[in-house]
Structure 1
Amino acid sequence: MSFPYSGDSLEQFLSRARMMSAVAVPAYLALLLFLTKEEGWHWSFLVLCVLPPVAAVSGFLGKRDIRPGLAVAALVMAIAPLPLIGGLEALF
């Protein structure tokens, strides 16, 4: 697999994916506490408790095993709770 800029771009991408997915966990936990105080028990509780830790583990595994696809999946799972919460709250 070739990367257009340099050999460091894969390492840099994997590092950023790992850190962004790890930082998402405390951010979503804070959002979870805010939402449960303001709105009570909703589906957002499940979304915020499941996806961020899975994303963090995927990010670390993607960095350790040098798997860019897993790192991309970690980034998607780290970003996915926000649209999911909006969609779930709009339905109910």
Structure 2
Amino acid sequence: MELFLSRARMMSAGSVPVYLALLLFITQEEGWHWSFLVLCVLPPVAAVAGFIGKRDIRPGLAVTALVLAIVPLPLVGGLEALFQ
């Protein structure tokens, strides 16, 4: 359980700089789109959920953090396809 909670915390916290770099790339290449909101809101929420899940030993919250850390990629792809 400790290993899972630690990995969930690190993956959710590690997603923040990755998505910020992706955000800079997308806005430079394609301009302002809905992806800006997705990449700015979901990764910090995932990081906070990951840290709280580890601190309070809540595996459900840790799973939510992992899902929130992964969701922006398909969501951005869907939003970009929808609005183009």
The interval holding the TM-score normalised by the smaller chain is over 0.9
Matches within 5 A, 1:71-86: 71-86=62-77
> Where do 5+ consecutive residues of structure 1 fail to align?
1-9
Distance 1:71 1:39 in 2: 33
Note the aligned Cα RMSD (angstroms).
0.2
Q: Counterpart in 2 of 1:68? A: 59
Tell me the TM-score normalized by structure 2: 0.98
Q: Counterpart in 2 of 1:48? A: 39
Structure with greater contact order relative to length (CA < 8 Å, sep ≥ 6): 2
The question of 1:26 aligning with 2:42 is answered: no
Matches within 5 A, 1:81-92: 81-92=72-83
Tell me the TM-score normalized by structure 1: 0.90
Distance 2:75 2:11 in 1: 18
Higher helix proportion: 2
The structure 1 segments of at least 4 consecutive aligned residues displaced by more than 4 Å after TM superposition are none
> Where do 5+ consecutive residues of structure 2 fail to align?
none
Q: Report how many aligned residue pairs link the two structures.
A: 83
